Amino acid sequence: MSATTQNDAAQQATSEPGRVWTGGCLCGAVRYTITEQPSAISFCHCGQCRRLHSHVGAYTTFPRTAIRITGDESLGWFASSERARRGFCTRCGTALFWDPIGQSRFDATAGSLDEPTGLTADRHIWVDFQGDYYHIGDDGLPRLRSTDAANASGVPVDG
């Protein structure tokens, strides 16, 4: 996500000075805290997200320096491409993170955040890789193809 897009998305979410966002896996072995405003949620339709999540991925983005993770002994990483890796709990299998290698941003799965998040979705990305078994409904959100400059991920993912 570009800095401008990320800033716009962050402004759409309710900004609460001093707030922290927390989240973690299903079994509780891995927990995290985000200390800066996360972006609005992006729904990713790429082939990797669909396989990992058994449907679309839902992610929020924030500066890499804003996250603190506990339970490292249960956190596993899978190099899903040359440019990114995905973090998951090795005990329960919960998908937690998308980590673009060498970038200043970091993504957490929206479903792993504790509620209330105060976040809303603002886009569908990689829609040209949408599965053939579903239709993206008319939810009013922008639909970005993998080649669109405003695509939130910014990192090519294999379909």
CATH number at residue 116: 3.90.1590.10
* Calpha distance 147→1 (Å, rounded): 13
Cα dist. 135→2, 44, 119, 131 in Å?
A: 27, 14, 24, 8
Residues in the chain predicted with pLDDT less than 70, given as ranges, are: 1-15, 150-159
Token couple for 27: 């079994």
In a domain, 31, yes or no: yes
DSSP string, 61-80: EEEGGGEEEE-GGGEEEE--
- CA-based nearest residue to 100, from 80, 124, 120: 80
Q: Is the pTM of this model over 0.85?
A: no
* Calpha distance 96→41 (Å, rounded): 14
pLDDT at 149: 72
In a domain, 93, yes or no: yes
pLDDT at 58: 96
pLDDT at 147: 80
pLDDT at 146: 85
- What 3-state class would DSSP assign to 85? strand
| Total tally of structural domains belonging to the chain | 1
**Percent of the chain's residues with pLDDT above 70:** 84
In a domain, 52, yes or no: yes
pLDDT at 15: 66
* Calpha distance 32→114 (Å, rounded): 10
- CA-based nearest residue to 95, from 122, 81, 77: 77
Token couple for 114: 């504790």
In a domain, 148, yes or no: no
Residue 93 lies in domain = 3-11+18-129
Pairing label, strands 57-63, 95-100: unpaired
* Calpha distance 74→88 (Å, rounded): 8
